[in-house]
Protein backbone atom coordinates (compact mmCIF):
# COMPACT_ATOMS: atom_id res chain seq x y z
CA UNK A 1 0.00 0.00 0.00
CA UNK A 2 1.31 3.40 -0.99
CA UNK A 3 1.11 6.48 1.22
CA UNK A 4 0.55 9.69 -0.71
CA UNK A 5 2.32 12.77 0.63
CA UNK A 6 0.20 15.67 -0.60
CA UNK A 7 2.97 17.92 -1.84
CA UNK A 8 4.93 18.74 -4.98
CA UNK A 9 7.63 20.37 -2.82
CA UNK A 10 10.64 18.08 -3.23
CA UNK A 11 12.36 19.43 -0.08
CA UNK A 12 9.33 18.57 2.05
CA UNK A 13 8.87 15.18 0.36
CA UNK A 14 12.51 14.30 1.01
CA UNK A 15 12.26 15.34 4.67
CA UNK A 16 9.15 13.20 5.28
CA UNK A 17 10.50 10.27 3.24
CA UNK A 18 13.73 10.17 5.26
CA UNK A 19 11.63 9.46 8.36
CA UNK A 20 8.99 7.12 6.91
CA UNK A 21 10.83 4.98 4.33
CA UNK A 22 13.17 3.38 6.94
CA UNK A 23 10.01 2.38 8.83
CA UNK A 24 8.78 0.41 5.81
CA UNK A 25 6.37 2.84 4.17
CA UNK A 26 6.14 3.17 0.40
CA UNK A 27 5.95 6.90 -0.32
CA UNK A 28 4.71 8.79 -3.38
CA UNK A 29 4.35 12.52 -3.91
CA UNK A 30 1.80 14.44 -5.95
CA UNK A 31 4.13 14.34 -8.97
CA UNK A 32 2.89 10.76 -9.39
CA UNK A 33 -0.55 12.28 -10.10
CA UNK A 34 0.23 15.06 -12.62
CA UNK A 35 -3.41 15.58 -13.61
CA UNK A 36 -4.70 16.16 -10.09
CA UNK A 37 -5.82 19.71 -9.27
CA UNK A 38 -3.92 21.97 -6.89
CA UNK A 39 -5.52 22.46 -3.48
CA UNK A 40 -6.27 26.09 -2.62
CA UNK A 41 -5.02 26.58 0.94
CA UNK A 42 -7.55 29.24 1.92
CA UNK A 43 -8.32 28.31 5.53
CA UNK A 44 -7.51 30.50 8.55
CA UNK A 45 -5.50 27.88 10.43
CA UNK A 46 -2.75 25.42 9.56
CA UNK A 47 -4.90 22.59 10.95
CA UNK A 48 -7.78 23.42 8.59
CA UNK A 49 -5.43 23.76 5.60
CA UNK A 50 -3.78 20.41 6.34
CA UNK A 51 -7.16 18.67 6.68
CA UNK A 52 -8.48 20.23 3.47
CA UNK A 53 -5.38 19.18 1.55
CA UNK A 54 -5.34 15.63 2.94
CA UNK A 55 -9.03 14.96 2.28
CA UNK A 56 -9.16 16.52 -1.21
CA UNK A 57 -6.08 14.60 -2.36
CA UNK A 58 -7.21 11.31 -0.77
CA UNK A 59 -10.50 11.60 -2.66
CA UNK A 60 -8.88 12.72 -5.92
CA UNK A 61 -6.17 10.02 -5.88
CA UNK A 62 -8.07 7.24 -4.13
CA UNK A 63 -5.47 6.46 -1.47
CA UNK A 64 -4.44 7.16 2.12
CA UNK A 65 -2.94 10.65 2.14
CA UNK A 66 -0.76 12.61 4.53
CA UNK A 67 -0.71 16.41 4.26
CA UNK A 68 0.81 19.13 6.35
CA UNK A 69 0.73 22.87 6.71
CA UNK A 70 3.23 24.95 8.65
CA UNK A 71 3.15 28.37 10.24
CA UNK A 72 5.93 30.58 11.57
CA UNK A 73 4.80 32.74 14.48
CA UNK A 74 7.07 35.68 15.41
CA UNK A 75 6.22 37.32 18.75
CA UNK A 76 7.41 40.83 17.85
CA UNK A 77 5.30 40.76 14.67
CA UNK A 78 2.12 39.84 16.57
CA UNK A 79 2.40 36.23 15.39
CA UNK A 80 3.01 37.04 11.71
CA UNK A 81 3.47 35.52 9.22
CA UNK A 82 1.59 32.65 10.89
CA UNK A 83 -0.49 30.60 8.47
CA UNK A 84 0.73 32.85 5.61
CA UNK A 85 4.40 31.87 6.06
CA UNK A 86 4.78 30.44 2.54
CA UNK A 87 3.58 33.65 0.86
CA UNK A 88 4.79 36.21 3.42
CA UNK A 89 6.55 38.30 0.76
CA UNK A 90 3.65 38.00 -1.71
CA UNK A 91 2.23 35.50 -4.18
CA UNK A 92 4.91 33.68 -6.14
CA UNK A 93 7.66 34.76 -3.74
CA UNK A 94 10.82 32.71 -3.20
CA UNK A 95 12.21 31.29 0.02
CA UNK A 96 14.82 34.06 -0.09
CA UNK A 97 12.14 36.75 -0.45
CA UNK A 98 10.44 35.48 2.70
CA UNK A 99 13.72 35.27 4.62
CA UNK A 100 14.65 38.82 3.61
CA UNK A 101 11.26 40.21 4.62
CA UNK A 102 11.44 38.55 8.04
CA UNK A 103 14.95 39.88 8.67
CA UNK A 104 13.99 43.37 7.48
CA UNK A 105 10.90 43.56 9.70
CA UNK A 106 12.87 42.32 12.70
CA UNK A 107 15.69 44.89 12.41
CA UNK A 108 14.26 47.18 15.09
CA UNK A 109 13.14 44.44 17.51
CA UNK A 110 15.06 43.05 20.47
CA UNK A 111 12.48 40.34 21.13
CA UNK A 112 13.34 37.78 18.48
CA UNK A 113 11.36 34.86 19.92
CA UNK A 114 9.41 32.76 17.42
CA UNK A 115 8.00 29.29 17.04
CA UNK A 116 7.28 26.97 14.16
CA UNK A 117 4.14 24.85 14.23
CA UNK A 118 3.18 22.07 11.81
CA UNK A 119 -0.23 20.43 11.52
CA UNK A 120 -0.14 16.94 10.00
CA UNK A 121 -3.42 15.48 8.74
CA UNK A 122 -4.06 11.91 7.64
CA UNK A 123 -7.09 11.09 5.50
CA UNK A 124 -8.65 8.29 3.50
CA UNK A 125 -11.15 8.94 0.70
CA UNK A 126 -13.85 8.40 3.34
CA UNK A 127 -12.67 11.16 5.69
CA UNK A 128 -10.11 12.56 8.11
CA UNK A 129 -8.40 9.91 10.23
CA UNK A 130 -6.11 11.98 12.47
CA UNK A 131 -4.61 15.44 12.93
CA UNK A 132 -1.45 16.00 14.98
CA UNK A 133 0.67 19.05 15.81
CA UNK A 134 4.40 19.59 16.19
CA UNK A 135 5.92 22.75 17.64
CA UNK A 136 9.47 24.05 18.06
CA UNK A 137 10.49 27.16 20.03
CA UNK A 138 13.28 29.34 18.73
CA UNK A 139 14.25 32.78 17.57
CA UNK A 140 14.84 34.78 14.40
CA UNK A 141 18.54 35.33 13.77
CA UNK A 142 20.02 38.69 12.77
CA UNK A 143 21.44 37.26 9.56
CA UNK A 144 21.22 34.13 7.47
CA UNK A 145 23.22 31.27 8.95
CA UNK A 146 23.98 27.95 7.28
CA UNK A 147 23.49 26.75 3.74
CA UNK A 148 21.18 23.76 4.14
CA UNK A 149 17.45 23.33 4.34
CA UNK A 150 14.69 25.40 2.74
CA UNK A 151 12.00 27.91 3.65
CA UNK A 152 13.00 29.93 6.72
CA UNK A 153 15.72 27.45 7.75
CA UNK A 154 18.64 29.97 7.55
CA UNK A 155 16.89 32.57 9.76
CA UNK A 156 15.16 30.40 12.39
CA UNK A 157 17.35 29.06 15.20
CA UNK A 158 16.11 26.24 17.41
CA UNK A 159 16.20 27.34 21.05
CA UNK A 160 17.34 23.94 22.30
CA UNK A 161 20.42 23.87 20.05
CA UNK A 162 21.16 27.53 19.28
CA UNK A 163 21.57 26.56 15.61
CA UNK A 164 19.45 27.33 12.59
CA UNK A 165 17.92 24.42 10.71
CA UNK A 166 20.19 25.42 7.81
CA UNK A 167 23.24 24.74 10.03
CA UNK A 168 22.04 21.20 10.81
CA UNK A 169 22.43 17.99 8.85
CA UNK A 170 19.24 16.37 7.53
CA UNK A 171 19.52 13.79 10.31
CA UNK A 172 19.87 16.46 13.03
CA UNK A 173 16.93 18.47 11.67
CA UNK A 174 14.75 15.36 11.47
CA UNK A 175 15.31 14.75 15.18
CA UNK A 176 14.00 18.13 16.30
CA UNK A 177 11.98 19.87 13.57
CA UNK A 178 8.32 20.85 13.93
CA UNK A 179 7.43 18.68 10.92
CA UNK A 180 9.29 15.68 12.37
CA UNK A 181 7.50 16.10 15.71
CA UNK A 182 4.09 16.21 14.03
CA UNK A 183 5.04 13.18 11.94
CA UNK A 184 6.19 11.18 14.97
CA UNK A 185 2.86 11.98 16.68
CA UNK A 186 0.85 10.64 13.75
CA UNK A 187 3.15 7.63 13.17
CA UNK A 188 1.32 5.22 15.55
CA UNK A 189 -1.92 5.85 13.60
CA UNK A 190 -0.12 5.21 10.29
CA UNK A 191 1.46 2.01 11.60
CA UNK A 192 -1.90 0.69 12.81
CA UNK A 193 -3.46 1.31 9.38
CA UNK A 194 -0.54 -0.44 7.66
CA UNK A 195 -0.75 -3.46 9.95
CA UNK A 196 -4.46 -3.85 9.24
CA UNK A 197 -4.12 -3.82 5.46
What is the domain extent for residue 187? 2-195
For residue 191, the domain's CATH number is 3.90.950.10
38 pLDDT exceeds 80? yes
Instruction: Tell me which of 69, 97, 153, 170 is the catalytic residue.
Output: 69
| pLDDT tops 80 at residue 174 | yes
What pLDDT was estimated at residue 195? 85
Q: What share of the chain has pLDDT > 70, as a percent?
A: 100
The span from the first CA to the last CA of the chain, in angstroms, equals 8
Is the model's pLDDT at 1 over the cut of 80? no
Q: What is the pLDDT of residues 90-133, one digit of tens each?
A: 999 999 999 999 999 999 999 999 999 999 999 999 999 999 99
Going by their DSSP bridges, the two strands 163-164 and 127-140 should be labelled as: unpaired
Taking the whole predicted model, whether its pTM rises above 0.85 is answered as yes
CB–CB of 61/36 below 8 Å?
yes
Share of the chain above pLDDT 90, in %: 89
Return d(Cα 16, Cα 13) in angstroms, integer.
Answer: 5
Q: Other C-beta atoms within 10 Å of 69: how many?
A: 25
Taking residues 14-31, what's their average pLDDT? 93
Give the CA radius of gyration of the chain: 17
Summarised one tens digit per residue, pLDDT across range 46-76 is 999 999 999 999 999 999 999 999 999 999 9
78: enclosing H helix or E strand:
none
Confidence of residue 197 (pLDDT cuts 50, 70, 90): confident
What is the tally of structural domains in the chain? 1
69 is catalytic: yes
Average pLDDT of span 132-160: 96
pLDDT grade for 194, boundaries at 50, 70 and 90: confident
Distances (CA, A) of 73 to 34, 43, 140: 33, 16, 10
Amino acid sequence: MKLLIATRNQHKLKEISQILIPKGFEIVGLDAFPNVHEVVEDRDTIEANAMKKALEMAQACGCITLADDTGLYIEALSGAPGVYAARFAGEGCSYEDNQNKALQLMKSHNNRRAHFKTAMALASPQGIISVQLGCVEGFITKEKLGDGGFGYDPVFAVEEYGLTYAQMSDEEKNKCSHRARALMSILPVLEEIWQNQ
